Amino acid sequence: MCRRWLGALLAIGLTAAACTPLPTPTDAAGGACAPDLPSRTSPTDYPVAILHAAGDDLPPVVGEIEWLGGDEPVETTAPRAINLERFTVLQLREASELSLRMTDGLSISEWRVDALPNNSFRAGDTETGTGWSSGSDVTDLVCVPIEDGEWVVRAELTFADDGGRGTYYWRLNVEESPSG
């Protein structure tokens, strides 16, 4: 008798599972180049660039800043060689792009984004890289296509409204991007 009950319960469970629709992916807002990313405020007396990829924001390692848009001009450089600075590494899988935006509602008027091979960068080569994106239109968000590999991303940005310029760095490990 127990076997019949067990068999009946198993049959009901399989039937219910077969009738339950499988979850389907949704197109959630907030992709790397979505125009509705939340704004960010800088913890410093100058704005910083924020890299956004795969749903995560990554603050930069700051290279050089010349900020003219505040009450007082600010100039700063990294306290030691940039390749010796401590980096947080963002792991990306199956991502095809990232975006850059500034804190404090600042727009970007020009940009150049290069990808430097991580091993070369860590050994001291801070110049040799591949150009991933450049432009000179005033924008709040710069979309950048990415490629597989271990990279240091360097963004040289000019701020809108004669606000100055800045150089920022991030480390990424990209695996299996659609563009390869």
Give the mean pLDDT of the chain: 85
Summarised one tens digit per residue, pLDDT across range 86-116 is 999 999 988 899 999 999 999 999 999 999 9
The full set of domain ranges for the chain reads 45-175
DSSP code at position 17: H
More confident residue, 121 or 6: 121
Q: How far apart are CA 99 and CA 89, in angstroms?
A: 16
Tokens of 57: 């924001």
Contact 47, 106 (CB under 8 A): yes
CATH number of 45-175: 2.60.40
Summarised one tens digit per residue, pLDDT across range 43-80 is 999 999 999 998 889 999 999 999 999 989 999 999 99
Contact 64, 163 (CB under 8 A): no
- For residue 179, the model assigns a pLDDT of 63
Q: Tokens 């924001």 correspond to what residue? A: 57
- For residue 180, the model assigns a pLDDT of 58
- For residue 6, the model assigns a pLDDT of 40
More confident residue, 91 or 24: 91
